[in-house]
Amino acid sequence: DAGVIQSPRHEVTEMGQEVTLRCKPISGHNSLFWYRQTMMRGLELLIYFNNNVPIDDSGMPEDRFSAKMPNASFSTLKIQPSEPRDSAVYFCASSFTGVNTEAFFGQGTRLTVV
Amino acid sequence: GEDVEQSLFLSVREGDSSVINCTYTDSSSTYLYWYKQEPGAGLQLLTYIFSNMDMKQDQRLTVLLNKKDKHLSLRIADTQTGDSAIYFCAERAGGGNKLTFGTGTQLKVEL
């Protein structure tokens, strides 16, 4: 398996534009997580899904952020409209659901909003 | 709620031992983890410890858990330049699937 695949690797966009980040989890994994990493706040969990259903979205900062998982092999994180303070590295991770299962991370999408 | 804290930076000389510390608040934590992030990459699991253990050793890595003080540490013996990275501790609370990460400790290994 190629691991968790995120696209794009880098995204530069203008303030106010819509941004869509994509994630393909490892085949067979049924939990998917979106994290945001910044220097100021470290690694924050935004939302996670079990079996394509959002379980905890309490980390989603504002209504400008939305995440979907239409099927077991694809998820998106959308920011509309984007703002400069959204600039960060966004990671997707996947795992099996269980008591102690390893979360595998993608390489991240570095988002810059100018 | 869950809160996990780490110091931000640690600098050691090659060959010395590194000790990275972490404190957490959730007493229902079942598993605690150490992840490593190399520049430009995602996080990779290094090791983990179950909450009913107080020590785990894995080659150059030693994890110590003081459950009473909610303190976790990672010791890297004979630290090498390739160990330079950001190290995150994380906790899994109760029976859930959610991992809460610390802020990360940037380890710099000098020659």
Q: What is the pLDDT of residues A74-97, one digit of tens each?
A: 999 999 999 999 999 999 999 988
pLDDT tens by residue, chain B, 111 residues: 568 899 889 999 999 999 999 999 887 778 899 999 998 888 999 999 988 899 999 999 999 999 999 999 999 999 999 999 999 999 887 666 788 899 899 999 999
Check A48 against B97: CB less than 8 A apart: yes
Q: What is the pLDDT of residue A62?
A: 87
Question: pLDDT band for position A1 (50/70/90)?
Answer: low
- Residues of chain B in contact with residue A35, where contact means CB-CB under 8 angstroms, are 101
Nearest to A100 among B40, B48, B104 (CB): B48
* DSSP H or E run through B15: none
- Rounded to a whole number, what is the distance in angstroms from the first to the last CA of chain B? 41
Question: Can you say whether residue A24 is alpha, beta or left, with left for phi > 0 and alpha for psi between -120 and 50 degrees?
Answer: beta
Instruction: Please name which of A22, A19, A21, A11 lies closest in space to residue A112, comparing C-alpha atoms.
Output: A11
Nearest to B104 among A42, A99, A106 (CB): A42
Check A100 against B103: CB less than 8 A apart: no
On whether any CB of chain A is under 8 Å from the CB of B50, the answer is yes
How far is residue B107's CA from residue B8's CA, in Å, rounded to a whole number?
9
Check A100 against B101: CB less than 8 A apart: no
Q: What is the pLDDT of residue B45?
A: 92
Cβ-based neighbours of B92, under 8 Å, separated by 6 or more: A100, B29, B30, B31, B32, B33, B98, B99, B100
Check B42 against A91: CB less than 8 A apart: yes
Instruction: Please name which of A88, A51, A82 lies closest in space to residue A66, comparing C-alpha atoms.
Output: A82
Judged on CB neighbours under 10 Å (0-12, 13-18, 19+), A111 is: buried
Instruction: Please name which of B100, B34, B5, B23 lies closest in space to residue A44, comparing C-alpha atoms.
Output: B100
Check B98 against A45: CB less than 8 A apart: yes
How far is residue A14's CA from residue B87's CA, in Å, rounded to a whole number?
32
* A87 within 8 A of A33, measured Cβ to Cβ: no
Reported residue count of chain B is 111
How far is residue B30's CA from residue B95's CA, in Å, rounded to a whole number?
8
Average pLDDT, integer, range A10-26: 97
Judged on CB neighbours under 10 Å (0-12, 13-18, 19+), A53 is: exposed
Q: What is the pLDDT of residue B33?
A: 93
* B65 within 8 A of B11, measured Cβ to Cβ: no
Q: Which positions in chain A have a beta carbon within 8 angstroms of at least one beta carbon in chain B?
A: 4, 31, 33, 35, 41-43, 45, 48, 50, 55-56, 91, 93, 95, 97-103, 105-108
The string of pLDDT tens digits covering residues A40-73 is 888 899 999 999 999 989 999 889 999 999 999 9
Task: Match 């609370």 to its residue by tokens.
Answer: B93
Q: What is the pLDDT of residue A99?
A: 66
